[in-house]
Chains A and B, each alone.
Chain A
Amino acid sequence: MNYLYGWLGAGALTLVVVLGAHLMSAERKSESIQDILEAINPERRKLSYRVLNDVVAPALAGILIVIAWPIALFVKVKEWVRPDDKDKRRDQTEKQFSVDSSHLKERLSVQEIERREMVMDPLHAAPALPFGHLHNTWCTLIEGLTRESELWSFSAIWKAGWGANELREGYVLVREGVPGAFLMTVWSTIEK
C-alpha cells in the first residue's frame, strides 16, 4: 500500500511541476485566434464544448499524469534538454514555399520563356512585354542567370498554412541541380 501512495505522491508532484511549467511557458491565446476558431467551428461556443474542452479534458490529462507520471516526466525533461525539437516542429508548420526538384517540368531558354509569356491586351492595359506588369520581376530573376545555371518551368501543389491546396507554377533558376530563385505565373487555390 505504501508503494501505491508513494507512486501517486510522485505523480502528484510531477503534475504540479508540469502544470507550473505549462503556466509559465504557455503562449496566451489571442482573442482574434479564438474568433477564427469559433467561426470555423461554431460548436466551440456551446457550453457542452467548453465544459469538455476546459474542464473534462484537463482533468483527464491530470489523472493520466498522476498515474503514468514517468512518461510525463520524460517528455517534460526532453523538452527542457532539447527545446530546439519544439522549434523545429514549429518551423515545419510555417514552412515557406520553395521550388523542389520534383516540381521541375522542362528546361527552357530565356527566349522560349519570353515567347510563351508575352502579354498582349486589346485595351493596352499592360506592358506589351514578357510577363507584362511583372516584367521587372522577370528581369531581376534572369539577372541571376550564370553559365552554370539553368531556367526551368515548374508546377507544384502546395499545402498552404491554412490547409487548402494551391497550384503554383512559374519559372525557376536551377544551379547545380538545385532550384533557387523563382517567379510565379500561377498561384491559385484548388477548389475541393
Chain B
Amino acid sequence: MTMSTASVKSGWRDWRVVDVDNARWKSHDLFPQAACVDIQTIEPSEFEEAQRSPRTGSSLSALQGCDVSYLWRSYSHEWKGFLKHFKDVISTDCDVHFNNIVVRYSGCALLDAELSRRIVSTLREVKSIMEETPNARKFRRLADQWYNETGMLSMIHKKVMHPAYQRIIGMGKEALPFIFQELNKKHVHWIWALSAILDDDVAKPEDTLEEAVAAWLKWGKDNGYI
C-alpha cells in the first residue's frame, strides 16, 4: 500500500503538509497494512491561528494538552476504551479505526510536529504490544500495574513487596529480557528483582544507584539479555 496524502483534507485553509520523513519517522512503516496513516503537521504560527478559530480551536487545545502515550498506559489492554478516548480527544475531525492489528489514523486533524511524533510513538507501542508473546504480555500487564500502583511510593521495600512485582519475580528467568528492557529505560528499581531471580547481586554494597544500575546493565549485555 502506498501512503496517500490526498486523503488529508483540511477543507478550510491551505495547510502545508510536511513530509513525515522530514520528522524522522515514517507513519506508513508503522502499519503497512493500513491504507494510510497520515499525520499532517503545520507551522507553529499556523497552529496558533487554528487555535483561535472557533471551528477547531477547542479541539486543538484539548489535543495539545493530551499526553497520548499516557492515555495508552491508562487504558493498558482495553482497546475499545483507549480508541474511544483517543477519538474523543482528537475530536470528530479525525477518524480512528481498529481492525485486527490495523489501526488507521487519517483525516483532517491538524497537529503540531511534537504531538504528531507522540501519536505515532504511541501507535507504535500499541502495535508492538499486539505482537507480544504471552510472557511479554504477562510481564507488561504486571509491570504496568506495578508502575501505576507504586510509582508514588518512596520506600523501596513497599514497592517490591507489591503482588505484581512479586509475580514478576515468580516468572523467574523468563522475565529477564523484559526486566532488562525496563532497566534500560531508566526504571531502576528492577535491580531488586534481578537479585532475587538470579540469587546474586552484581552491584557492590558501596555502589550508588547509578553504579548499581550500570553494573546490572553490563551484566545484561555480557549475558545476551540486552
Is B a genuine binding partner of A? no
Q: Which residues of A contact B (CB under 8 A)?
A: none
